[in-house]
A and B are shown apart, each in its own frame.
Chain A
Amino acid sequence: AQSVTQPDIHITVSEGASLELRCNYSYGATPYLFWYVQSPGQGLQLLLKYFSGDTLVQGIKGFEAEFKRSQSSFNLRKPSVHWSDAAEYFCAVGGTSYDKVIFGPGTSLSVIP
């Protein structure tokens, strides 16, 4: 069965510091992996996605993520965080053959000025 874990419920970083949000997944075949961001009162916006090919994927707003099959991980990174990055971040996994897209519990990011 598909599942997604995000070990960190809440992370606080200083503005300008680097960021890494962890995501681990369980899926029986080659997964499609996503990171979404949700600001308060807003809908879900896609940051980046991995389908195949290069395991380091670039997204919007300066984010990147690395797919590591051996570790079943898809961690999100940003070299320098901005105050506007404060939001809830969700990792999700899906697949081909119309498999459902399942979300993790989310990591709440706070940014200290």
Chain B
Amino acid sequence: EAGVAQSPRYKIIEKRQSVAFWCNPISGHATLYWYQQILGQGPKLLIQFQNNGVVDDSQLPKDRFSAERLKGVDSTLKIQPAKLEDSAVYLCASSFGDRDPEAFFGQGTRLTVV
């Protein structure tokens, strides 16, 4: 079974630039999560989708972060403009949701903002 795919694996940008991350969840998984993991900390939930609708985005800095999940499958997370404190690993995860909330994670995208 294919896992959660994320790209790119690494990205270095200058502050004030924009960046986008892509995630392809496991087939059949209705729930998709984006987490931010700063070095030395636990993953922090940014946004949760159920199919193509947003369930929770209370921790998403909406002045600079945006996310979408078109057609309830792939998702993109965008940062515009980036700040130094956005340097982190961005993890995408998916699950069956209500039927089974176990989250399966991708390898993540390591973002460095300089």
From B42, B48, B101, contact of A32 by CB (8 A): B101
Q: A103-B44, A104-B42 are in contact. List 12 more A-B contacts (CB 8 A).
A: A32-B101, A36-B105, A43-B91, A44-B91, A94-B101, A96-B98, A98-B98, A100-B45, A100-B56, A101-B33, A101-B93, A102-B45
Q: Is the CB of B42 within 8 A of A90?
A: yes
Tally of B interface residues using CB under 8 Å? 26
Residue of B nearest to A101 (CB): B103
Task: Give a binary string over B19-38; 1 marks a CB under 8 Å from any A CB, 0 the rest.
Answer: 00000000000010101000
Given A43-B107, A44-B91, A103:B42 Cβ within 8 A: yes
Residue of A nearest to B58 (CB): A100
Q: How far is the CA of A36 from the CA of B93 in the complex (A)?
A: 13
Number of A-B contacts (CB under 8 A): 60
Task: Give a binary string over B55-86; 1 marks a CB under 8 Å from any A CB, 0 the rest.
Answer: 11000000000000000000000000000000
Q: How far is the CA of A94 from the CA of B45 in the complex (A)?
A: 12
Q: Is the CB of B101 within 8 A of A43?
A: no
Q: Please, which residues of chain A bring their CB within 8 A of the CB of B101?
A: 32, 94-96, 98-99, 101
Q: How far is the CA of A105 from the CA of B31 in the complex (A)?
A: 23
Q: How far is the CA of A103 from the CA of B45 in the complex (A)?
A: 8
Given A98-B97, A100-B48, A44:B102 Cβ within 8 A: no
Given A43-B91, A94-B101, A98-B50, A106:B41 Cβ within 8 A: yes
